[in-house]
Amino acid sequence: MAATSGAREVFGTRAGFILAAAGSAVGLGNMWRFSYQASEGGGAAFVLLYIGMTIILGIPLMLAEFSIGRAGRRAPVGALRKLAGPGWGRVGWLFAVGPLLILSYYSVIAGWTVRYAIESIATGFPEEAAEHFGRVATGQGAIAYHVGFMAATLAVVMAGVKGGIERASLILMPALFFIVVGLAIWATTLSGGAAGYRVYLQPEISALSDPAVWRAAAAQSFFSLSLGMGAMITFASYLERTHDLPESATIVSFTDFGVAFVSGLVVFPVIYSLGLQGAVSESTVGALFIALPGAFESMGLVGHVVGLFFFVVLAVGALTSAISLLEVVTSSVIDEFGVPRKAAAVGVAVTAAVLGLLPATSLDALGLMDKIAGEFALVIGTLLIAIVAGWVARGTVTDELLAGTSPFWRRQVPRIVLAIRYVVPVLIVIVLVFSSGETVKAVRDFLGG
Ligand code: TRP
């Protein structure tokens, strides 16, 4: 059925939408950021806290985005304008600028994962892993892989919601689940991995008294679930009203958590069986792109194969997330300026590729962009969404949550709305207070150093 002019594209299947949303959520945030935060935040204590945050913050916020998107049937700018008025529409541009910035550095990191996947079988990883990462992370090579990755993302988004995003998600997501589980099973065979499981799975309760751990758990759940940047608004704008939103949000959130948790079951035993824990606490990127390749290399042939799968999973996760980031911005350009999809997607991808030249030449710039766009702007975004869904357009949002919903979830809707109105904004403001301090400090350090 050809789309008539003016008709909005739609997802073809329920699984297609759920896997596309899960594809947005599952990404570099799960595979690495999660393990790193867990090791900093008391292992299983962090994991439990994270589950709690996902339930009381993540799922309600995802539902806020889903219902704004489906009720508005527009990309974030148009959806907010329709539900909350022209002022909110202008604020909605945050949900185009933010994802554009995230996409620009996310694609640089994704480029590294593609390069590592290729190197793991083509050449193996060099002995001096840290020097190698230094050469790979910035400069011409980094730019080339960044641009190549952006081109792949663009190819999917140009093909449209059903023919591109849905089709890619239906193939890539099952492949990703399969490989991550396979890697976790393989990791159980490592001698000396027990120490890793212990650190990961034994709760260190004292970590819970540290407010920084709570903030980290909340911020991690926003980033990992792709909240606060309008990605879920955009995907839901391509949904029919017969779709059960609360059930989908629950499935997507727990899938995201599941992949993060299982990734930890790969990363921890590998790192500990090779005695590399020092490298983990040194830096996030360091452990992923320095310690793990070193570990794989020391395992000989098996390490090459495992390394290949590991970095392929990272690249696939990054691709489905980048697709959602490119789609949010593209979709606002299509809706607001009436530009055809292909032209809009090319324009946005080229802009993001050019912006990415900065993080592709400076790791400091990359870190700063992550703090500003990937953490601070994203927390602001979640607050705006909670205000619109819980206060400004509460009636519309409540109707939307009930439409197409099964009796069990219909009974939960009043509770979900209460969470969106009171619990979520209060917790976000607390997170924001901590994040602002850190962001200001990061900007100062960047300018001063
Ligand atoms: N959730 C992705 C990850 O875990 C990153 C991501 C994709 C994202 N789309 C987003 C983050 C939108 C915030 C907003 O890697």
Tell me the pLDDT tens digit for each residue of 8-40.
999 999 999 999 999 999 999 998 788 878 888
Ligand 1 centroid to Cα of residue 299, in Å, is: 32
**pLDDT at residue number 280:** 58
pLDDT tens by residue, 145-188: 999 999 999 999 999 999 999 999 999 999 999 999 999 999 99
pLDDT at residue 275 is higher than 90? no
Percent of the chain with pLDDT over 90: 74
**pLDDT at residue number 274:** 82
Please choose from 34, 224, 380 the residue to mutate so as to test ligand 1's pocket, defined by most ligand atoms within 8 A of CB: 224
**pLDDT at residue number 286:** 64
Ligand 1 centroid to Cα of residue 273, in Å, is: 30
Ligand 1 centroid to Cα of residue 374, in Å, is: 8
- H or E stretch including 78? helix 76-84
Residues 318-326 have a mean pLDDT of 98
Using 50, 70 and 90 to split pLDDT, how confident is the model at 331? very high
Q: Which residue has the tokens 């595979």?
A: 31
Separation CA 311–CA 337 (nearest Å)? 38
**pLDDT at residue number 5:** 45
Q: What is the DSSP string of 352-380?
A: HHHHTTTTTT-HHHHHHHIIIIIIIIHHH
Using 50, 70 and 90 to split pLDDT, how confident is the model at 282? low
Ligand 1 binding site (Cβ under 6 Å of any ligand atom): 24-25, 27-30, 99, 102, 223-224, 226, 229, 231, 321, 324-325, 378
Residues 123-139 have a mean pLDDT of 88
> 358: how many CB neighbours lie within 10 A of its CB?
15
Average pLDDT along the chain: 92
Closest ligand 1 atom to Cα of 325? 9
Using 50, 70 and 90 to split pLDDT, how confident is the model at 4? very low
**pLDDT at residue number 1:** 37
What pTM did the predictor assign?
A: 0.95
Residues 337-364 have a mean pLDDT of 97
**What burial class does residue 17 get, using C-beta atoms within 10 Å of its C-beta: 0-12 exposed, 13-18 middle, 19+ buried?**
buried
* Integer angstrom CA distances of residue 249 from 38, 90, 324, 404, 423: 24, 27, 16, 13, 18
Ligand 1 centroid to Cα of residue 229, in Å, is: 8
Residues ≥6 apart with Cβ < 8 Å to 170: 15, 16, 19
Residues 68-77 have a mean pLDDT of 98
Residues ≥6 apart with Cβ < 8 Å to 447: none
**pLDDT at residue number 442:** 82
**pLDDT at residue number 2:** 38
Using 50, 70 and 90 to split pLDDT, how confident is the model at 285? low
